[in-house]
Amino acid sequence: MRPIPCSRDMDFGQSNLFGYIEDLQELTIIERPVRRSLKTPEEIERLTVDEELNDIERALYLLSSGQDVQGTSVVANLPVLMRQNPAETLRRVLPKIREVLHVAGVEMQLTAAVSFLTVLQDESVSIHTYSHSFLHIILQNLEHRDAGVSNAWLETLLAVIEALPKETIRHEILNPLVSKAQISQTLQSRLVSCKIMGKLANKFEAHIVKREILPLVKSLCQDVEYEVRTCMCRQLEHVAQGIGTELTKTVVLPELVELARDEGSSVRLAAFETLVNLLDMFDSDDRRQTVLPLVKSFCEKSFKADESILVSLSFHLGKLCNGLYGIFTPEQHLRFLEFYKKLCTLGLQQENGHNDNQLQLQTLEQEKKYISVRKNCAYNFPAMIVFVDPKNFHLELYSIFFCLCHDPEVTVRYTMAISFYEVAKLLNSSVCTIQKELVTLLQDESLEVLDALVGHLPEILELMINGGENSGSESKLLSIPDLIPALTTAEQRAATSLKWRTHEKLLQKYACLPQIISSDQIYYRFLHRMLAIILTNNVLPVQKAAARTLCVYLRYNRKQEQRHEVIQKLIEQLGQGKSYWNRLRFLDTCEFIMELFSKSFFCKYFFLPVLELTHDPVANVRIKLCYLLPKVKSTLKIPTDKHLLQQLELCIRKLLCQEKDKDVLTIVKRTVLELDRMDISLDAFQKRFYENDLLDQEKERQEHLLLEMEQLEKEKQQNEGRSANVNDKIFEKKRRDNKPSSVLVKSMTLSSGNSSGASTGKEDKKSKLVRSQSFNTQALHPKYNNIDNKSSATGYTSSLSGMGKSCMLSFSDDSFRTRSTGNSGNATFSSSSSLISSRNSFNSTDQKNNGNKESQSRKMSIKNRKSNS
- Secondary structure element (H or E) that encloses residue 682, with its range: strand 681-682
Whether residue 312 is predicted with pLDDT greater than 70 in this model: the reply is: yes
pLDDT above 70: percentage of residues in the chain: 72
Mean pLDDT over residues 141-160, rounded? 91
Q: What value, to the nearest 5°, has the Cα angle with vertex 328 and ends 323 and 331?
A: 140
Residue 638's alpha-carbon distances to 591, 653, 672, in angstroms, are 21, 20, 19
714-738 burial string, b = 16+ CB within 10 Å, else e? ebbeebeebbeebeeebeeeeeeee
State the pLDDT at residue 98: 92
Write the CB contacts of 127 (distance below 8 Å, at least 6 apart in sequence).
163, 164, 165
State the pLDDT at residue 48: 72
- DSSP three-state, residue 649: helix
Q: What single string gives the DSSP state of each residue in 114-125?
A: HHHHHHHHHT-S
Whether residue 866 is predicted with pLDDT greater than 50 in this model: the reply is: no
- Secondary structure element (H or E) that encloses residue 157, with its range: helix 147-163
State the pLDDT at residue 411: 96
Give 699 or 184, the one with higher predicted confidence.
184
Of residues 239, 231, 216, 320, the one with CA closest to residue 276:
320
State the pLDDT at residue 39: 66
| Rg, the chain, Cα only | 41
Q: How confident is the model at residue 793 (pLDDT cuts 50, 70, 90)?
A: very low
Q: What single string gives the DSSP state of each residue in 730-788?
A: HHHHHHH----HHHHHHHHHHHHHHHHHHHHHHHHHHHHHHHHHHHHHHHHSGGG-S--
Give 782 or 108, the one with higher predicted confidence.
108
Alpha-carbon distance of 444 to 563, in angstroms, equals 34
Per the rule left: phi > 0, alpha: psi between -120 and 50, beta: everything else, 38 is beta
Alpha-carbon distance of 112 to 149, in angstroms, equals 10
The pTM assigned to this predicted structure is: 0.72
Q: What value, to the nearest 5°, has the Cα angle with vertex 516 and ends 513 and 517?
A: 85
State the pLDDT at residue 485: 93
Mind listing the pLDDT tens digit for each residue in 369-426? 999 999 999 999 999 999 999 999 999 999 999 999 999 999 999 999 999 999 999 9
Q: What value, to the nearest 5°, has the Cα angle with vertex 107 and ends 104 and 109?
A: 55
Contact of 442 with 487, CB cutoff 8 Å: yes
State the pLDDT at residue 834: 39
Q: How confident is the model at residue 821 (pLDDT cuts 50, 70, 90)?
A: very low
Give 608 or 861, the one with higher predicted confidence.
608
Mind listing the pLDDT tens digit for each residue in 54-79? 888 888 888 887 678 888 999 999 99
Q: How confident is the model at residue 482 (pLDDT cuts 50, 70, 90)?
A: confident
**Within 13 Å and on the Cβ side, how many CA atoms surround 451?**
14
Phi first, then psi, for residue 711 (nearest 5°) are -65, -40
State the pLDDT at residue 677: 86
Per the rule left: phi > 0, alpha: psi between -120 and 50, beta: everything else, 347 is left
First-last CA distance in the chain: 121
97-109 burial string, b = 16+ CB within 10 Å, else e? bbebbeebeeebb
Q: How confident is the model at residue 824 (pLDDT cuts 50, 70, 90)?
A: very low
Give 23 or 766, the one with higher predicted confidence.
23
Mean pLDDT over residues 665-690, rounded? 77
Phi first, then psi, for residue 637 (nearest 5°) are -130, 130
Whether residue 796 is predicted with pLDDT greater than 70 in this model: the reply is: no
Alpha-carbon distance of 229 to 219, in angstroms, equals 9
| Stated length of the chain | 869
Contact of 631 with 675, CB cutoff 8 Å: no
Mean residue pLDDT of the chain comes to 79
Contact of 679 with 688, CB cutoff 8 Å: yes
Q: How confident is the model at residue 855 (pLDDT cuts 50, 70, 90)?
A: very low
Give 421 or 687, the one with higher predicted confidence.
421
Of residues 84, 146, 158, 85, the one with CA closest to residue 116:
158
Alpha-carbon distance of 755 to 361, in angstroms, equals 81
Give 680 or 198, the one with higher predicted confidence.
198
Mind listing the pLDDT tens digit for each residue in 457-467? 999 999 988 87
Mind listing the pLDDT tens digit for each residue in 716-765? 777 776 666 666 666 566 555 544 444 333 333 334 444 444 444 544 54
- Secondary structure element (H or E) that encloses residue 637, with its range: strand 637-638
Whether residue 273 is predicted with pLDDT greater than 70 in this model: the reply is: yes
State the pLDDT at residue 192: 92
Mind listing the pLDDT tens digit for each residue in 318-329? 999 999 988 999
Residue 806's alpha-carbon distances to 23, 703, 760, 773, 852, in angstroms, are 89, 20, 10, 16, 41
State the pLDDT at residue 509: 96
Residues pairing with 637 in the sheet: 681
State the pLDDT at residue 750: 35
pLDDT above 90: percentage of residues in the chain: 49
Alpha-carbon dihedral of residues 768, 774, 776, 777, nearest 10 degrees?
Answer: -170
Residues pairing with 681 in the sheet: 637
Mind listing the pLDDT tens digit for each residue in 607-632? 999 999 999 999 999 999 999 999 99
Please report which residue ranges of 345-409 form alpha helices under DSSP H.
Answer: 357-379, 381-388, 393-396, 398-405
Give 29 or 394, the one with higher predicted confidence.
394
- The lowest-confidence range among 13-27, 172-186, 456-470, 550-564 is 13-27
Of residues 492, 482, 575, the one with CA closest to residue 535:
575
Question: Strand 637-638 vs strand 681-682: parallel, antiparallel, or unpaired?
Answer: parallel
State the pLDDT at residue 267: 93
State the pLDDT at residue 97: 93
Mean pLDDT over residues 336-357, rounded? 75
Alpha-carbon distance of 839 to 823, in angstroms, equals 10
Q: In the 8-state DSSP scheme, what is residue 6?
A: P
State the pLDDT at residue 23: 58
Give 804 or 248, the one with higher predicted confidence.
248
Alpha-carbon dihedral of residues 579, 580, 582, 588, nearest 10 degrees?
Answer: 180
Q: How confident is the model at residue 869 (pLDDT cuts 50, 70, 90)?
A: very low
How would you write 532-578 as a 3-class SS string?
Answer: HHHHHCCCHHHHHHHHHHHHHHHHCCCCHHHHHHHHHHHHHHHHCCC
Cis peptide before 639 (omega within 30 of 0): yes
State the pLDDT at residue 758: 46
Mean pLDDT over residues 175-182, rounded? 87
- DSSP three-state, residue 823: coil
Alpha-carbon distance of 388 to 397, in angstroms, equals 8
Per the rule left: phi > 0, alpha: psi between -120 and 50, beta: everything else, 56 is alpha
Residues pairing with 638 in the sheet: 682
State the pLDDT at residue 637: 85
Taking the CB of residue 59, how many other CB atoms lie within 10 A of it?
Answer: 26
State the pLDDT at residue 736: 57
Mind listing the pLDDT tens digit for each residue in 509-567? 999 999 899 889 999 999 999 999 999 999 999 999 999 999 999 999 988 899 999 99
- DSSP three-state, residue 218: helix
Whether residue 266 is predicted with pLDDT greater than 70 in this model: the reply is: yes
Contact of 314 with 281, CB cutoff 8 Å: no
Contact of 363 with 354, CB cutoff 8 Å: no
Alpha-carbon distance of 80 to 35, in angstroms, equals 36
Mean pLDDT over residues 771-788, rounded? 42
Give 261 or 686, the one with higher predicted confidence.
261
Contact of 193 with 216, CB cutoff 8 Å: yes
Mean pLDDT over residues 296-303, rounded? 83
Whether residue 294 is predicted with pLDDT greater than 50 in this model: the reply is: yes
Mean pLDDT over residues 829-858, rounded? 41
